Amino acid sequence: MSVEPQKFVTSTGFLAYEVLEARVEPATAPSLVLLHNFMSTGRAAWGALLETLNQRYRILLPDLPGHGRSCGYPPAFHHRQMAAQLADLLTGTGFAGAHLAGCSIGGMLAQLLVVAEQLRPATLVLVSTTYSLNPATTGHQAALEPANFRAGERWLEATARLHDEHQYSGYFQEVLLPAFRQMNPDAVIDLQLADLARVTSPVCLLHGSEDEFFPPAIPLQMAAAFPNAELQLIEGQSHSLIFRQPWRVAAGMVQFLERWPTNEAATRLPERHRGQDSP
């Protein structure tokens, strides 16, 4: 069930977000942040997993800049600027030391937050994602065309309704879809494997063996680069596992997270790292 979101002011507008208190032992529940994929929303992407994850985890569920109920976004949806706004949100709401999970571009933003030392999450969960969209870095050209996404019929029309209702009629076609198709190489993630080697948080990668955007060679590279990582490669599955097999992703996440309890007080960044945009 959707609830009225809270709003966190940024330099380009505001981020809409929900805080879902854990159903079991809420006073001592560890925190978990869920970042969704491009052209989706927090609820649309993670909704099928919330029944499982919200049992024992206190969840921060934002809509990314320019998505869903959030208003305003950095020019060209610049990944590092989007990550900076999310860093401000997480520190401003007390989730800086939480478990951090992201799907596709949400996973890219999560990596940028950690590599740039804007956050020190308890763990990282990366679903259907990559560390770079630069083919010279990964050795693979990601064909980011909606036609290449193996989704059902009329999914674009359904996706438009996630945003137009909160922005204006035609927003999805005029803003989000062109941005997805025409990502500026200067604005997107381009980490090196050496960057991942500096990440100290435990990492779980969940990835489809038939991912049409990021083939399994990419998560294999990532799993080898992170100092403390495990890879759950799901056979026969393509991109965006949270839509295709949410029950399997939720089970894999819980299995991983239960091995790494969080100590948020020890992992929260100093005050000087906090953003200035919170109301």
Domain ranges for the chain:
6-272
Quick one: fold of 6-272? Rossmann fold (3.40.50)
Q: What is the pLDDT of residue 157?
A: 85
Helix or strand or coil: residue 77? helix
- The token duo for 117 is 């030392």
Cβ(105)–Cβ(133) below 8 Å: no
Cβ(108)–Cβ(86) below 8 Å: no
Q: What is the pLDDT along the chain (279 residues), one digit of tens a residue?
A: 457 899 999 999 999 999 999 999 998 999 999 999 999 999 999 999 999 999 999 999 999 999 999 999 999 999 999 999 999 999 999 999 999 999 999 999 999 999 999 999 999 999 999 999 999 999 987 766 666 565 555 778 889 999 999 999 999 999 999 998 888 889 999 999 999 999 999 999 999 999 988 999 999 999 999 999 999 999 999 888 999 899 999 999 999 999 987 654 333 333 333 333 333
- The token duo for 243 is 């839509």
Q: What is the pLDDT of residue 207?
A: 97
- How far is it, in rounded angstroms, from Cα 101 to Cα 18? 15
Q: Which helix H or strand E contains 241, and what residues bound it?
A: helix 241-244
Cβ(36)–Cβ(67) below 8 Å: yes
Q: What is the pLDDT of residue 276?
A: 34
Q: What is the pLDDT of residue 161?
A: 93
- How far is it, in rounded angstroms, from Cα 186 to Cα 225? 24
CA quadruple 165, 168, 174, 180: dihedral sign:
negative
- How far is it, in rounded angstroms, from Cα 217 to Cα 199? 20
Q: What is the pLDDT of residue 267?
A: 39
Q: What is the pLDDT of residue 152?
A: 53
Q: Which helix H or strand E contains 265, and what residues bound it?
A: helix 264-267
- The token duo for 179 is 């941005």
Q: What is the pLDDT of residue 145?
A: 66
Burial label for 212, CB within 10 Å (0-12, 13-18, 19+), is: middle
Global model pTM greater than 0.85: yes
- How far is it, in rounded angstroms, from Cα 25 to Cα 70? 30
Q: What is the pLDDT of residue 279?
A: 32
